[in-house]
Amino acid sequence: MIEMLPADGLVIVAKHECHTCVLVEPVMQSLDRAGPLTVITQDDPAFPSGVGRVLDDQQLERSFHLKIEAVPTLIRYEGGREVGRTVGWDRAEWTRLAGAAAAGEGLPAWQPGCGSRSVEPGVQEALIARYGDPGLASREIPVGEWDDPIEACFERGWSDGLPVVPPTDERILRMLGGTDRKPDEVVGLVPPNLAPCTVEKVAINAVMAGCKPEYMPVVLGVLEAALDPLFVLHGLLCTTHFSGPLVIINGPAAKAVGMNSGVNALGQGNRANATIGRALQLIVRNVGGGLPGGMDRATLGNPGKYTFCFAEDESDPDWEPLAQRRGIPAGKSAVTLFHGEGVHGFIDQKSRTPEELTRSLAMGLFGVGHPKLCDSGNAVLVLSPEHYRIFKEGGWNRRRIEEELHQALKRPGRDLIHGAQGVPEGLPASMADKVVDKFQPDGLLIVRAGGPAGLFSAIIGGWPGQRVREECQAVTHEIR
């Protein structure tokens, strides 16, 4: 129980580290002599000196309930009700509320105060969780005093196999602070159980994934893209194939949250890349019920099913970013989701012209899935800076690269049918007299990423479900 404030009199909330509070210490002493006065001190029970009633508020409970935003704050009570309040030092306001004893002879007429400790970054959410009503609808799971919360998350099956951050009320509230969308807004139905996923549920899983609050708009955009019917998340989840969601971010949002599009862009080491992709996977697991060995029936899977997320390098103004190529206005942020099976390294350190490199890339791309299978899945080509430079110096832009690769990826059907080259796998015999495209016309997505040194690019194969184009595609959504 906190000690009751008087029904009548003055209350001042202050802290010793505030220069203005120290400045008005003589005024507080004067008001104490005129009485009655209560001072609530946020950081030092010995401050102010010379005052009879000082309440220690280092836990900030009183400051929270009084809604203190800055100190010093002077409040007058009459009959148990607040009848006036002023913030900072303002001689006219203090004397209006407290009388001549607050004149502060020798002090300047006005001086601004300092921020209250109760509104410092991260503190407000903790105080709401501790002393207020968090307003969270999700069921709270109690953890014993001597239990390890991280182990409790493992035991309840909330983890992807790596430790997760326990989603306490204050962490959830802090994460919700990263978006202005209402916690009870339903983002969509997450397969396989088609469970409603609210913004609050997204925040909980973003906490567990290790996201920062500022990532929330991106995480929400990723989930909305994943729930687009054309992405067929349910089918991707239950396939026996390797694939899982590959997340590519374009636009100002990628820079705002510090995503990596450069050195080791597809690897470890960047918090935003790692946790945004992981948040999507945890939502599918914890909200939708998509558990490996349950609905997730991948024969082998791939490490990208922990997280597979990076940003495109948009540093070259001559390059048309992927999202813009797919219809998002320039300058807008967007997410592209692709059904990616993992990274296949492509090495070519000898090609020096766009034509040579195109033929070489086509050889690597033709191996996606199987060298004798066509239109059985698409691909992403992650073009490294050194390979891109060959195209740029040759005057080729994105559209030219796409068209030349499309032509280079044509093959005579007789080389690809069942039994050709002594390999049973392949296309039906009816394709023998046709010229066959490896991918659909818009099925090869090209993005720029990677470190400045190394003639290495990456090929990320797709999911065979993509062959039914009218039912399954990569999707690109603007991030709200």
Domain boundaries defined on the chain: 9-117, 342-461
pLDDT at 128: 93
β-bridge pairing 37-41 and 9-14: parallel
| 1 has pLDDT over 70 | no
Structure confidence by residue, pLDDT tens digits, 60-78: 999 999 999 999 999 999 9
Close Cβ partners of 355 (under 8 Å, ≥ 6 residues apart): 404
Tokens of 117: 């400790």
* Euclidean distance between CA atoms 208 and 150, whole angstroms: 10
Mean pLDDT to the nearest integer, 382-398: 98
| 3 has pLDDT over 80 | no
Provide the 10 A C-beta neighbour count for residue 294: 12
Which residues of 210-264 form beta strands (DSSP E)?
Answer: 244-250
Structure confidence by residue, pLDDT tens digits, 258-304: 999 999 999 999 999 999 999 999 999 999 999 999 999 999 999 99
3.40.30.10, 3.40.50.9100, 3.40.50.800, 3.30.360.10: which CATH number matches 9-117? 3.40.30.10
Cα-based distances in Å from 91 to 65, 87, 408, 478: 26, 11, 81, 52
Beta-bridge partner residues of 380: 445, 460
* Euclidean distance between CA atoms 313 and 384, whole angstroms: 10
- Tokens 């990596």 sit at which residue? 260
1.10.1220, 2.60.120, 3.30.2320, 3.30.1370: which CATH number matches 342-461? 3.30.2320
pLDDT at 4: 81
In terms of Cα–Cα distance, which of 69, 23, 17, 15 is closest to 39?
15
Do the domains 9-117 and 342-461 sit in the same CATH topology, yes or no? no
CB contact at 8 A, 253 and 218? yes
Q: What is the DSSP letter of 407?
A: H
* Euclidean distance between CA atoms 348 and 346, whole angstroms: 7
Amino acid at site 427: L
Assessment of whether the complete model's pTM goes beyond 0.85: yes
Mean pLDDT to the nearest integer, 180-190: 97
pLDDT at 175: 97
CB contact at 8 A, 209 and 306? no
In terms of Cα–Cα distance, which of 83, 82, 100 is closest to 91?
100
Tokens of 214: 């500022």
β-bridge pairing 114-115 and 70-71: antiparallel
DSSP reduced 3-state for 56: strand
Angle between helices 169-176 and 199-209 (to 10 degrees): 110
CB contact at 8 A, 2 and 38? no
H helix intervals, 298-440? 322-325, 354-365, 385-393, 398-408
pLDDT at 259: 98
Structure confidence by residue, pLDDT tens digits, 123-150: 999 999 999 999 999 988 888 888 999 9
